[in-house]
Amino acid sequence: MLESHKSLIAKEAAAYLSSHQDVSAGKLAGLSGVNPSYLSYILRGEWNAFPIKGGKATTQIGDTHFLKLQHYLGLTLEVFETKPFIDIHFALAQAKQNAGYSIIDGNTGQGKTFAVTEFQRQHPAGTYVVKCANSMTPRMMVQAIAVAVGVLPVGDNNTILAAVAVKMCATPYALLILDESEVMMKKRLAIGFIKDLYDRVENRAGIVIMGANDLLATMKARAAKNIESFPQVVRRFGAEPVMLASGIDRDDAVAICSTYGVTTTREVTQLIAQCENYGTLFSTLKKRKNDAEALS
């Protein structure tokens, strides 16, 4: 889930508490199904620094809890079914239905994270999302997976992965999505932990590795050099990769622009030329809209 979406949900939750004097944070936790401790950290904007029991380490609060809040508060997010969005949803649905393993690779700004957020919103049961970060160590990645799946991230890595596998294998149509995985490619042991988890859940739960910046090419180059567990992971996950097209599809651009009041062929063509990806296109259209509203 995008940080901007998390911020919006946290802001709306705080506003809800302010406007409902008879509802405490504890009551909101019960009504929404969010762990009270998680809600406390979400309201403080500290969802990336939740303390792990029994130590000084911290981890991220899983997207599932934000989605529960979003559902209870009745929030909706703007969704456009672009070509990349459709490709991603199809691949995730296949992996979830068939306990499949895949790699989704595409340039930054093609809407990968947003598509994953929307997929999890539509299919919350057994869909677990971990957003990798530059600051993550392999150990922190394993702990984040545990938190997302709903098991305690305590013990050594092997113990944690074993508990994660048990939970996933016991959950119908379980799917783990590792978003922005490119940041973990140079970190020793990270790819090995993904392989270890695959070996424990093979044919019983799905795993999808998502990333940008030529993720698959990087993995194949490392596999060719027999680095760590790259050969095994590429063989298992890279058989039928989903390679998202770069740039903006014109039909998508026409549909998106029309909702922002841009309807002429000339204006749409200019925007496609100016914007290298969907993220830039949305930012440009939203800025134009905000500027127009400010002037009026």
Q: For 132-172, what is each residue's pLDDT tens digit?
A: 999 999 999 999 999 999 999 999 999 999 999 999 999 99
Q: What's the confidence (pLDDT) of residue 79?
A: 73
SS3 206: strand
Structure confidence by residue, pLDDT tens digits, 38-64: 999 999 999 988 888 766 788 888 878
Tell me: pLDDT of 78 over 70: no
Q: How far apart are CA 84 and CA 186, in angstroms?
A: 27
Q: What's the confidence (pLDDT) of residue 76?
A: 65
pLDDT category at 218 given cuts 50, 70, 90 is very high
SS3 201: helix
Q: How far apart are CA 285 and CA 165, in angstroms?
A: 44
Q: How far apart are CA 217 and CA 177, in angstroms?
A: 19
pTM of the model: 0.78
Tell me: pLDDT of 219 over 80: yes
Average pLDDT score over residue span 263-274:
94
Tell me: pLDDT of 5 over 80: no
Q: Which range among 18-32, 43-57, 265-279 shows the weakest confidence by mean pLDDT?
A: 43-57
pLDDT category at 88 given cuts 50, 70, 90 is very high
pLDDT category at 250 given cuts 50, 70, 90 is very high
List the chain domain ranges.
Answer: 3-67, 83-243, 250-295
Q: How far does the chain reach from its first CA to its final CA, in angstroms?
A: 33
CATH code for 83-243? 3.40.50.300
Q: What's the confidence (pLDDT) of residue 248?
A: 96
Average pLDDT score over residue span 76-88:
84
